[in-house]
Amino acid sequence: MTLVTWKVEMMLLAISQARLLCEMSLLEDKKIEPEQLRKNVATIQSVLADTQDTLESVLCSGSDNSISE
C-alpha cells in the first residue's frame, strides 16, 4: 500500500463520517440544539477542508511513497 493510497482511504472514511453527521443533523424527528448543530457544521467543514488540502498535496506531490502493509 502506498502512502497516497492510505491517505485517500483515510479521507474517504472521514468524508463518510461527515456525511453521516450531516444526515443525522437533518433528521426531522430528532431535535438538535442550535449549539450542537453549529458544532456539527464546524466538524463537517473541517473534514472537507482537510480533504481538500490532502488531495491537493497528493496530486501535487506525484511521489509514490510506500508504507508497509
| Overall residue count recorded for the chain in this entry | 69
Question: How far apart (Å, rounded) are the C-alpha atoms in residues 30 and 11?
Answer: 28
Position 64 pLDDT exceeds 80: no
For the chain, helix (H) and strand (E) counts, in that order, are 2, 0
Lowest average pLDDT, out of 11-15, 25-29, 35-39, 42-46, goes to 25-29
Position 67 pLDDT exceeds 60: no
Say which residues have a Cβ less than 8 Å from residue 11's Cβ, sequence separation at least 6.
Answer: 50, 51, 54, 55
